[in-house]
Amino acid sequence: MAALGRVLAEPIVSRSLIPPWANSSMDGYAVRARDTRGDPVELAVVGRIIAGTLPSRPLRAGEAMRIFTGAPLPEGADAVVPQEDVAADGERVTITGRVAAGAFVRPAGEDVHVGDVVVQPGGVIGAAEVGLLATLGYAQVRVFRRPRVAILSTGNELADLGTEPGPGQIPNTNTYSLMAQVIEAGAEPINLGVVPDHLEAITERLRWGLAAADVLVTSAGVSVGELDLVREALERTGAELHLWKVSMRPGKPITFGTHAGRPVFGLPGNPVSAMVTFELFVRPALRRMAGADSVDRPRLRVPALEMIANPGSRRGYLRVTLTPDTGGYGARLTGDQGSAILRSMVLADGLAVVAPDTTIAAGEPVDVILLRSLEPRSR
Ligand code: AMP
Ligand code: MG
């Protein structure tokens, strides 16, 4: 069970034939199809095969055997007649109409052949895979290690969970939403806590993170103000920064770099910006590092159920709910799109991707990155 949700690291090759022998898919009578050409025919019932036993002997011309679902077909038999379609008295069975060869028979190997690769490495193990692994006798499988992701929230104003915010302070949101996103991405979070906007303090905490983790993620302090010290602190640890600022909304201030081959991400501080930039930049990297062969969320093209406007020069990632519409789903904005309004993420099923200076009219199609399953839920 520990493998559930993990990414498989080895191909699962079948060592057996499933099912191992032809068997019945109904309770009824095993027959030779060519014996049912008369109309009606009467066959002698010469045996009884229950699931978990083997037929006592082959079936010969003019004979039938009582058989139950899952029981192996006797040699010579090639079809099953369901019991509700016959008249029988225990000794003899009367069959009306022709029976086709193969009727109600599950052939040997119809599911899996010996040597079939039934699950590829890079696939996520779900409930069906767990069932198949058990069928094939795999009690243990090799999975990829989850990448470890250190998360640091920066900001003088932050009061961490469990402490009462002082005057002018706000609760620390991002550590927790980011840790949850890390877990949902199939990785393991390491909480580096909160540090104030102080260069040495940030640098020191980042060093801890780099010693413990495969990936570093920071929030806030990455913009242009004089207290935005994260980039300088990252450079002090020896990280090489490759980019700063992406033309998107929410989330323009973001930096990405590497430290001894390990990715480091400086995400913006606004809670929605932090979550959206995590989705777009950090999550795919974590999926790749986790060994998954699919790293991107599904993208859907659905009709806008109301006008969706993205004024300004940045690409928009607007939070939308997807609601059932005639023949499919349609997208509706979650309301106010401010990057500090975390409720827009709580309500969101997806992110509508809208080009700069573009307005999508109601009824026009819009591209949506799907963030969650569309199971109905209360909001
Ligand atoms: P900054 O990027 O440091 O200018 O922060 C942008 C905004 O995000 C400010 O309003 C911060 O107070 C807020 N913020 C920064 N970090 C967090 C956090 N961990 N939780 C909630 N809000 C935050
Ligand atoms: Mg700040």
In a domain, 14, yes or no: no
Are residues 252 and 152 part of one domain? yes
Final residue of a structural domain among 250, 268, 289: 289
In a domain, 217, yes or no: yes
Are residues 269 and 314 part of one domain? no
Are residues 258 and 325 part of one domain? no
Taking the C-alpha atoms of residue 301 and residue 299, their distance in angstroms, rounded to an integer, is 7
Output the average pLDDT for the chain: 96
Final residue of a structural domain among 289, 314, 347: 289
pLDDT at 131 > cutoff 90: yes
* CATH classification of the domain holding 160: 3.40.980.10
Are residues 261 and 237 part of one domain? yes
pLDDT of residue 326: 80
Q: What is the DSSP string of 156-171?
A: TTEE-TTS---TT-EE
Q: How far is the CA of 193 from the centre of ligand 1 (A)?
A: 14
pLDDT of residue 90: 86
The predicted-structure confidence for 226-235, as pLDDT tens digits, reads as follows 999 999 999 9
Are residues 248 and 159 part of one domain? yes
Average pLDDT on 251-267 reads 97
Final residue of a structural domain among 50, 76, 106: 106
Are residues 176 and 230 part of one domain? yes
Strands (E), 50-108: 63-67, 79-82, 86-88, 92-95, 105-106
Average pLDDT on 242-258 reads 96
Q: How far is the CA of 371 from the centre of ligand 2 (A)?
A: 27
Measured in residues, the chain has a length of 379
Average pLDDT on 108-112 reads 93
Buried b (16+ CB within 10 A) or exposed e, 278-296: bbbbbbbbbbebbbbeeee
Q: How far is the CA of 354 from the centre of ligand 2 (A)?
A: 28
Q: Which of 151, 156, 174 to mutate to test the pocket of ligand 1 (most atoms within 8 A of CB)?
A: 174
In a domain, 1, yes or no: no
* CATH classification of the domain holding 319: 2.40.340.10
Taking the C-alpha atoms of residue 103 and residue 105, their distance in angstroms, rounded to an integer, is 5
Taking the C-alpha atoms of residue 264 and residue 64, their distance in angstroms, rounded to an integer, is 71
Are residues 228 and 187 part of one domain? yes
pLDDT at 377 > cutoff 80: no
Residues with CB under 6 A from ligand 1: 153, 155, 157-158, 170, 172-175, 219-221, 223, 268-271
In a domain, 164, yes or no: yes
Q: Which of 270, 276, 345 to mutate to test the pocket of ligand 1 (most atoms within 8 A of CB)?
A: 270
pLDDT at 183 > cutoff 80: yes
pLDDT of residue 379: 64
pLDDT at 306 > cutoff 90: yes
Average pLDDT on 286-299 reads 96
In a domain, 96, yes or no: yes
* CATH classification of the domain holding 56: 2.170.190.11
Q: How far is the CA of 289 from the centre of ligand 1 (A)?
A: 28
Domain that holds residue 284: 148-289
Are residues 177 and 281 part of one domain? yes
Are residues 313 and 268 part of one domain? no
Are residues 308 and 278 part of one domain? no
Contacts of residue 335, Cβ cutoff 8 Å, sequence gap at least 6: 341, 343, 344, 347
In a domain, 375, yes or no: no
- Indicate the pLDDT class of residue 20, thresholds 50, 70 and 90: very high
pLDDT at 186 > cutoff 80: yes
Are residues 245 and 345 part of one domain? no
Helices (H), 139-198: 174-184
The predicted-structure confidence for 208-229, as pLDDT tens digits, reads as follows 999 999 999 999 999 999 999 9
Are residues 245 and 198 part of one domain? yes
**3-class secondary structure for 221-266?**
CCCCCCCCCHHHHHHHCCCEEEEECCCEECCCCCEEEEECCEEEEE
* The total number of structural domains that make up the chain: 3
